[in-house]
Amino acid sequence: MNERDTEAAHWFARLRAPGAEADRAEFDLWRADPDHAEAYARAEEDWLLVGGVAPEHLAVHRGARASPARPNARWALAAARRVSADLRLVG
């Protein structure tokens, strides 16, 4: 997980916390950078995958077709990234 992905995971969690409205303008500025927007989209996707969302539903979220190739490997990667980000938030 690179620094941008870590920042995106922090933003993803922060925007779901109480009082997140106060952080929205700062988030919008951060997300204006295309690289940040892409990292945030990956964080959202990881969260959906870890939550057990079926690949076909995830495809609707992405606006693309679901990839049937190696769904278990993608889920494992998403879970590992999510746990890693959560541990960084705690530690």
First to last CA, the chain: 16
Give me the residue label for tokens 């998403």: 78
pTM over 0.85, yes/no: no
Six token digits for residue 69: 């190739």
> How far is Cα 20 from Cα 28, in angstroms, rounded to an integer?
12
Six token digits for residue 88: 């960084």
> What tens digit of pLDDT does each residue of 45-75 get?
888 777 766 666 667 766 654 454 455 556 5
Q: What is the pLDDT of residue 1?
A: 76
Six token digits for residue 82: 């999510």
Q: What is the pLDDT of residue 69?
A: 47
> How far is Cα 58 from Cα 83, in angstroms, rounded to an integer?
20
Note whether 58 and 49 are within 8 A (CB): yes
**Residue 53: left if φ>0, alpha if ψ -120 to 50, beta else—which one?**
beta
